[in-house]
Amino acid sequence: MNEERIQARERANQLAQEFRQKGDLKGWFDAVYANAKGNPSAIPWAHLTPNPLFTDWSKRNDLKGEGKKALLVGCGLGDDAEELARLGFEVTAFDISPNAIEWCRRRFPQSKVDYCIADLLTPPATWQSKFDFVLECYTLQALPIEVRGQAIENIARFPSPGGSLLVICRGCDTAAEQISMPWPLTRDELAGFQKSGLQLVSFEDFMDDEDPPVRRFRILYQA
């Protein structure tokens, strides 16, 4: 990880703590984008390319949209949303940050993706059981632990009957390892998806190619 990326993560952690002390668990997201002032290197999770842990999976599983509806949770700067659209999905992508959504629209002015502002903790009721494919990539790990249970329950409601949910996140064995943002998830936390009615299809536990390597979970569920 380069020095600029390390500084961006440190600043994001600082903002998260500042907002947390004020009793605001979500406002720091928009502050990160606002403070970046158009510099994507100041966004610790922005790489301006689709997440390789998603693209590798989609190629291996021959994922095709064929006009089906997809939802991207926490779209950031939009690269995964555009990849879903390229695969043929009709894509809705949301983020709690108005600055992030505005940034997406500037980056992809001709995009077919429906970029919208929404809060995962209070999502639109019309999204329940609406999407054939839902992608949650690195959003849960950026959420404070005390709200992740509700976020997991809400995400579990998005897939339509027979639809799929792919979750990609940092992984750990115990809560003692959840020291700083991004906070890894435990298997016990992720079991909330099954408690909310989804069926576990596959669970991958592996080290990625980052320097240094990071433990990841990649899980597929079906409604």
What is the share, in percent, of the chain residues with pLDDT greater than 70? 99
Name the residue ranges covered by the structural domains of the chain: 47-222
Average pLDDT over residues 111-139: 98
Query: Is residue 211 over pLDDT 90?
Result: no
Q: Are 76 and 100 in contact (CB under 8 A)?
A: yes
Q: pLDDT at position 1, please?
A: 57
Which range has the top average pLDDT, 94-103, 138-147, 168-177? 94-103
CA distance 149 to 131: 21
**Sheet with 69-73, edge to edge strand ranges:** 114-117, 90-95, 69-73, 131-137, 159-170, 215-222, 199-207
d(CA 50, CA 46): 10
pLDDT tops 60 at residue 175:
yes
pLDDT at 55: 98
Q: Calculate ∠ Cα 176-43-151, nearest 5°.
A: 50
In percent, how much of the chain has pLDDT > 90? 77
Over 90: is that where the pLDDT of 3 sits? Answer: no
Fold of 47-222: Rossmann fold (3.40.50)
φ, ψ for residue 101, nearest 5 deg: -65, -40
The token duo for 209 is 């190619």
The Cα–Cα gap between 24 and 26 comes to 6
* Confidence band for 123, pLDDT divided at 50, 70 and 90: very high
Q: What is the pLDDT of residues 17-27, one digit of tens each?
A: 888 888 888 88
Q: What predicted TM-score, i.e. pTM, was given to this entire model?
A: 0.95
Q: Where are the alpha helices (DSSP H) in 38-128?
A: 52-60, 79-86, 98-107
